[in-house]
């Protein structure tokens, strides 16, 4: 709405082109400016052009994305569970709690296995990180972190250190001493620094590098000794909640999942996002590779778990039921990849037949949300941690 | 406001439960001198869940129903503890006004008004429970200054209530009480408290920013690269997943009991002791034959592979590959020195363990070594890996050394 009759009141140098002309007194973002009519027109056109460019780019991006989905769908000649009809169904499972680890005074948020197949490290809301010999249920080490909500913890491949972090936005490494009297906290080493909470951490094949994911939307690879950032990974548009390294002797990739509902595969060497999947309807809480490294599973707040294959470049299975309406917080595969163990916010653990897509068992026992589920390195058991302050070993 | 997907899905189920045709039959029950309006039994709920959500097990239905009760979607009319019992206990639905999806965060002043109002009602019917009386006393102390205001509000609400129809009042009173059972539960422990706590990771996300031109161009590049990707047909992928799982089934303790037993179940660690011994068992040796990575993964496998290659005087490839793996595990400080050492040993002119790399990789590596990083030998390593896979590895698997290991344990077992 521009009534020309009362606008050109003043005559003088234009704020933009400095020429002496009849000026239009207008307001730009509440600031009065005096432009000549030509400059006003130019400004309006530029704004239009810019808007147009962004819009055209957006449209191009959307159409490419749609085309990608089309291409992916073209190779979908059969469903996984259809091909799996020819293999035998699994028998009845007898899975019981074989050990209950009590000792945390608050919600257990995360746990990891030691490569010796029996020790574990667990972290909780009250800042306590405990190392257990799960076989004997003895506590071997305990550290109190200076922050609450320690959402991430990991065991070093050598078994000689643990890493943990959470609301302190850092990932710290504690060497484990054989001397019970030694104060572990004194030897603590701060390795990673993010600008928001640490959601997940993992050592690579070495005690010397740690991969982290954070609420700040990024993942990062760190040199433990120097604390140097080796590589950062940008691409998620919201909190990254989980990551998992590909189980390959030769590969350099990992997968991450987050609140933007995306699961991204990354090249550790270049920092590039090499593949991306977006089919979940809510936050992805956990990602885990299938043992061969060719696929990975996700657990999400949309109450489903899904399997994505990297070679087919798409989602290949959904694990869901009408009666499961609470989010899946954590997933892990059995050694052969036939079973998927998933912990849920409705306090249960559901065991899925990965190939046939059916549920083979539901495990009750925890008295609050199951926050973490991890299979032991030799696949003989899996451990679940819960907001009921306990951990359970199932076999 | 952020509402969890689980809340939305629960409310879908609750809406179905209240459906006139296919929902739970709601009725009025005669009791002593009065009527109990609008109720159904705990068993009704369990039966409905079993049938309509295709649940096979009563335990599962009861578990899900209990979670719904803890959220306050239906409540036992005579109990402050919101749990589900699979019997004739009477339950009533909560009015949608009080559903969690409305993101209720009632204040203590609201609770004070409520408790105060309760004292104004017919005491015989709605006497305060002990914990409610305690809460009221505490709140009176806390809000001493504004108690008059609270009292006035309570009075006004009580007045409105009195005007209502008796049956309607009964129902609304119970629903209001159930609302407070959710938000001011009788116990600090238990389900009703637990479901309300949330992880700091699940805060509502801020409004997504509009992507910049730069970001959009990046996105377009990404989608274009993805479109160029080579994809496999689903049928092929499915077969691959099936055969991998098939191959490893024998090694999966959840599918095939480990020999002699699963330590977690039998309390006997023999299985672990056998794995730790330097003498590899037959099943373990068989696994090396699946694919080269199995040999490279297993320290004993690596050792045997190396021994075999040394006997053929062709171990430099494997040693190079192992050295580069080890290089990547070093702290960044040690990398430049180590890169030099590996270069001298395997690739420099006159190297003692010279390996054969294609000229392209060689040139690239020569460049990389000038500015040494952890991935300096990446191309060379890839080339060597392919060579090992197609050549050395297949020879190893066919070798008598490997075959003997594979048969050796079998023989021993036979003579047991």
Does B3 have pLDDT greater than 80? no
Contact A77 B253 (CB under 8 A): no
Which among A93, A197, A223 has CB closest to B201? A197
pLDDT digit string (tens) for A226-244? 999 999 999 999 999 999 9
Which among B59, B60, B241 has CB closest to A355? B241
Contact A323 B49 (CB under 8 A): yes
Contacts of A354 in chain B (CB under 8 A): 241, 245
CA distance B228 to chain A (A): 9
Is A92 touching B (CB cutoff 8 A)? no
What is the band of B383 on the pLDDT scale with cuts at 50, 70, 90? Answer: very high
Which among B199, B219, B264 has CB closest to A380? B264
What is the band of A210 on the pLDDT scale with cuts at 50, 70, 90? Answer: very high
B49 three-state secondary structure: helix
Short-list B77, B78, B13, B88, CA closest to B43: B88
Task: Report residue B254 as tokens.
Answer: 């959840």
- Residue A371 and residue A390: Cα distance in Å, rounded? 11
Does B312 have pLDDT greater than 80? yes
Does A3 have pLDDT greater than 80? no
CA distance A258 to chain B (A): 10
Does B416 have pLDDT greater than 50? no
Contacts of B296 in chain A (CB under 8 A): 249
Q: Could you tell me the pTM of the whole model? A: 0.88
Contact A226 B271 (CB under 8 A): no
Task: Report residue A216 as tokens.
Answer: 């700040």
What is the band of B4 on the pLDDT scale with cuts at 50, 70, 90? Answer: confident
Rounded mean pLDDT of A106-121? 97
Contact B220 A57 (CB under 8 A): yes
Question: What is the DSSP code string of B66-133?
Answer: HHHHHHTSEEETT-SS----SSS-EEEEPPGGG-GGG-----HHHHHHHHHHHHHS-TTTSPPPHHHH
Q: What is the CA B142 to chain-centroid distance, rounded?
A: 42
Mean of all residue pLDDT scores within chain A: 92
Residue B196: predicted pLDDT: 64
Dmax over CA atoms of chain B, in Å, equals 107
CA distance B79 to chain A (A): 21
Rounded mean pLDDT of B61-83? 92
Does B413 have pLDDT greater than 50? no
pLDDT digit string (tens) for A160-186? 999 999 999 999 999 998 776 677 778
- Residue A200 and residue B415: Cα distance in Å, rounded? 51
Residue A271: predicted pLDDT: 96
Rounded mean pLDDT of B312-339? 93
Q: Are strands A382-386 and A390-394 parallel, antiparallel or unpaired?
A: antiparallel
Name the one residue in this structure whose structure tokens are 């509000």.
B153
Mean of all residue pLDDT scores within chain B: 89
Q: How much of chain B, in percent, has pLDDT values that exceed 70?
A: 92
- Cβ A334 vs Cβ A375: under 8 Å: yes
Contact A224 B331 (CB under 8 A): yes
Contact B255 A167 (CB under 8 A): no
Contacts of A385 in chain B (CB under 8 A): none
Does A4 have pLDDT greater than 80? no
Does B125 have pLDDT greater than 60? no
What is the band of B1 on the pLDDT scale with cuts at 50, 70, 90? Answer: very low
- Cβ A380 vs Cβ B263: under 8 Å: yes
Contacts of B216 in chain A (CB under 8 A): 54, 57-58, 60-61
**Sign of the four-CA dihedral B78, B128, B36, B30:** positive
Sheet of strand A128-133: strand arrangement: A108-113, A119-124, A128-133, A138-144
pLDDT digit string (tens) for B244-298? 999 999 999 999 999 899 999 999 999 999 888 878 888 899 999 999 999 999 9
Is B58 touching A (CB cutoff 8 A)? no
- Residue B275 and residue A10: Cα distance in Å, rounded? 92
Q: Which helix (H) or strand (E) holds B348?
A: none
Residue A43: predicted pLDDT: 80
Does A52 have pLDDT greater than 90? no
Is B261 touching A (CB cutoff 8 A)? no
């Amino acid at each position: 709405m521009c009534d020309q009759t009362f606008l050109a009141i003043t005559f003088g140098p234009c704020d933009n082109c400095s020429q002496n002309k009849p000026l239009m007194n207008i307001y730009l973002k509440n600031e009065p400016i005096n432009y000549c009519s030509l400059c006003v027109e130019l400004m309006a056109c530029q704004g239009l052009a810019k808007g147009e460019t962004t819009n055209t780019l957006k449209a191009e991006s959307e159409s490419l994305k749609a085309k990608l989905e089309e291409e992916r769908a073209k190779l979908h000649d059969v469903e996984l569970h259809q091909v799996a009809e020819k293999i035998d169904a699994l028998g009845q499972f007898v899975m019981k709690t074989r050990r209950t680890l009590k000792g945390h005074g608050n919600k257990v948020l995360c746990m990891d296995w030691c490569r010796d197949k029996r020790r574990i490290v667990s972290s909780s809301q009250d800042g306590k990180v405990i190392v257990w010999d799960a076989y004997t249920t003895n506590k071997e080490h305990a550290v109190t972190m200076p922050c609450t909500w320690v959402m991430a913890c990991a065991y070093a491949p050598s078994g000689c250190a643990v890493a943990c972090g959470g609301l302190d936005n850092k990932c710290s490494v504690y060497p484990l001493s054989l001397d019970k009297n030694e104060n572990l906290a004194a030897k603590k080493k701060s390795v990673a620094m993010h600008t928001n909470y640490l959601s997940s951490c993992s050592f690579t094949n070495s005690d010397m590098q740690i991969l982290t994911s954070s609420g700040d939307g990024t993942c990062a690879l760190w040199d433990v000794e120097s604390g140097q950032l080796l590589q950062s990974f940008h691409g998620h548009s919201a909190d990254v909640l989980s990551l998992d390294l590909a189980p390959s002797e030769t590969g350099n990739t990992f997968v991450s999942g987050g609140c933007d509902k995306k699961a991204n595969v990354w090249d550790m060497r270049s920092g590039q996002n090499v593949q991306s999947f977006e089919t979940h309807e809510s936050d992805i809480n956990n990602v885990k590779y299938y043992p061969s490294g060719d696929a990975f599973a996700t657990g999400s707040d949309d109450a489903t778990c899904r399997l994505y294959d990297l070679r087919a470049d798409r989602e290949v299975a959904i694990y869901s039921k009408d009666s499961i309406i609470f989010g899946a917080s954590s997933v892990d595969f059995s050694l052969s990849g036939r079973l998927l163990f998933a912990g849920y916010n409705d306090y249960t653990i559901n065991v899925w037949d990965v190939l046939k897509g059916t549920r083979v068992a539901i495990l009750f026992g925890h008295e609050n949300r199951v926050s973490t589920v991890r299979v032991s390195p030799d696949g003989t058991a899996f451990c679940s941690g819960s907001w009921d302050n306990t951990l359970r070993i199932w076999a | 406001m952020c509402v969890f997907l689980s809340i939305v899905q629960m409310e879908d189920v609750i809406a179905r439960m209240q459906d006139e045709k296919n929902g739970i039959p709601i009725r009025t029950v005669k009791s002593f001198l009065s009527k109990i309006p609008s109720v159904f039994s705990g068993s009704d709920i369990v039966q409905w869940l079993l049938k309509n959500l295709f649940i096979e097990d009563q335990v599962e239905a009861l578990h899900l129903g209990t979670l719904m009760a803890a959220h306050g979607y239906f409540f036992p009319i005579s109990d402050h503890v919101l749990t589900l019992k699979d019997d004739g206990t009477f339950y009533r639905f909560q009015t949608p006004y009080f559903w969690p999806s409305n993101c209720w965060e009632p204040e203590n002043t609201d609770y004070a008004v409520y408790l105060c109002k309760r004292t104004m009602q017919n005491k015989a019917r709605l006497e305060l429970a002990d914990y409610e009386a305690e809460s009221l006393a505490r709140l009176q102390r806390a809000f001493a200054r504004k108690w008059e205001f609270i009292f006035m509000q309570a009075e006004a609400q009580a007045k409105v209530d009195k005007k209502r129809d008796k049956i309607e009042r009964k129902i609304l009173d119970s629903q209001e009480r159930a609302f407070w059972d959710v938000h001011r539960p009788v116990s600090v422990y238990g389900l009703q408290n637990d479901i309300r706590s949330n992880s700091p990771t699940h805060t509502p996300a801020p409004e997504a920013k509009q992507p910049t031109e730069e970001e959009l161009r990046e996105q377009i590049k990404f989608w274009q690269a993805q479109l160029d990707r080579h994809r496999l047909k689903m049928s092929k992928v499915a077969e691959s997943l099936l055969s991998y799982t098939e191959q490893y089934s024998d090694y999966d303790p959840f599918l095939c009991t480990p020999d002699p037993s699963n330590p977690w179940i039998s309390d006997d660690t023999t299985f672990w002791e056998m794995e730790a011994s330097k003498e590899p068992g037959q099943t373990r040796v068989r696994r090396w034959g699946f694919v080269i990575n199995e040999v490279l993964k297993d320290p004993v496998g690596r050792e045997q592979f190396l021994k075999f290659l040394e006997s053929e005087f062709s171990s430099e490839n494997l040693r190079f590959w192992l050295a580069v793996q080890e290089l990547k595990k070093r702290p960044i400080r040690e990398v430049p020195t180590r890169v030099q050492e590996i270069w001298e040993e395997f690739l420099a002119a006159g190297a003692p363990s010279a390996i054969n790399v294609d000229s392209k990789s060689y040139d690239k590596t020569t460049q990389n070594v000038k500015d040494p990083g952890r991935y300096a030998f990446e191309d060379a390593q890839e080339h060597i890996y392919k060579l090992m896979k197609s050549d050395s590895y297949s020879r190893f698997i066919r070798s008598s050394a490997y075959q003997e290991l594979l048969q050796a344990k079998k023989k021993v077992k036979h003579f047991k």
